[in-house]
Amino acid sequence: MKLVFLFSLCILFILAVLILGKRRDATRLLGGNKQAFSPLKIAHRGAAGYCPENTMAAFKKAMDLGVDFIEIDVQLSKDGKLVVIHDPTLERTTNGSGNVRDYDLCELRELDAGSWFHPHFKGEKIPVFEELLEIILPHAGILIELKHPAFYPGIERKLAMEIMNHNLHVGSSHLLMIQSFDIDSVKRFHALLPSLPSGVLIKRPLGVSHKKLSELSSFASFINLKQTMMTLKRKKKIHSYGMKAFTWTVNNEKKIDRFEMMKLDGVTTDYPDLFTKKNERKEVD
C-alpha cells in the first residue's frame, strides 16, 4: 500500500509541474519570484514578422511558437465594439480608408486585413477583442495596449466590463495585462480593475526620471521601455520602485541575448522564434 501511495504522489507531482509550467503568466509581475527565470516572451501584434499584424494568422503563428503573451492593440468601432488594430486609420493594414471610429463593426469586418502583407493572407479580418479571449487564452496570455484612448472616451470602462463579463479579473493567475503610452488612460483602467497588472510604455528619457517613476509606481506594475533606452542601470532603477522592466520591440538575436543576460522581465518581438533559435544554438554549443 505504501508503494502505491508513493507512486500516486509522484504522479500527482508530475502532473502539477506540467500544468503549472505550461505557461509563465503575469503572476510573477506582482509576486517577486526570486528564482532565476528568462524574460516573458511577448509576441508583438502576434508574430508580426511572419504574418499580417493583429490578425488571427499572426496570433496563431505566435501560439505555435510557444509565446508567453501576445501583445494586441485595441480601439473602438463606431458602434462601440472593441476591435484589434494598431492604427487609428485603415489605409496601412487594410483595403479600407478613413478612421476606424467612423465604421461600425460589420463594416470593419468586411475589410481585407491580410493582402497588404502578402496575397497568401487575403481575407484576414480585423479581429474582435472578445473572440480572442476564447482563442488565445488557453495557450497564451494577452498584453492589451490601449491605442489612442483619447479618440475613444470610455474605452477603459468598455474594456474593463468585457474582462469582468468573462470573469478574467479574479484569481491569482493573471492572463491579461494592459499598457498604454497614455498615462491617464492607464490610471483610469487601474482604478476600474486594480487586480490586473498595468504598465506604461515609454520612449523618452524623461519618462524614467526618479520623479516620474515614483509617480508611476503608485498604479503601474511594469514599465515598458523602448529597446534603445533600456540599460542595466535603468532596469535596476525601475526595479527599485517595485515595478518590473519590459522592453520593445527586439528583432535581433544578439539584443535578445543581451536583455536575457540583463534579466529583464519581458521582451517584445516580431519574431518569437528568435528565443528558440538562441536556445537551440546553446544546446549545440
All three cell numbers of 65: 511558437
Among candidates 237, 62, 27, which has minimal Cα distance to 264?
A: 237
Secondary element (H or E) of residue 233? helix 232-240
Residue 71 three-state SS: strand
All three cell numbers of 11: 504522479
Residue 218 three-state SS: coil
Q: Is 169 a catalytic residue?
A: no
Residue type, 158: K
Residue keyed to cell 524574460: 39
- Maximum distance among all alpha carbons in the chain? 72
Q: How far apart are CA 209 and CA 130, in angstroms?
A: 37
Q: Is 86 a catalytic residue?
A: yes
Q: Which of 44, 148, 174, 190 is catalytic?
A: 44
Q: Which of 86, 148, 174, 190 is catalytic?
A: 86
Q: Distances from the Cα of 193 to the Cαs of 148, 167, 188, in angstroms?
A: 20, 12, 9
**DSSP characters for 119-130?**
GGGTT--PPBHH
All three cell numbers of 227: 529597446
- The catalytic residues are 44, 86
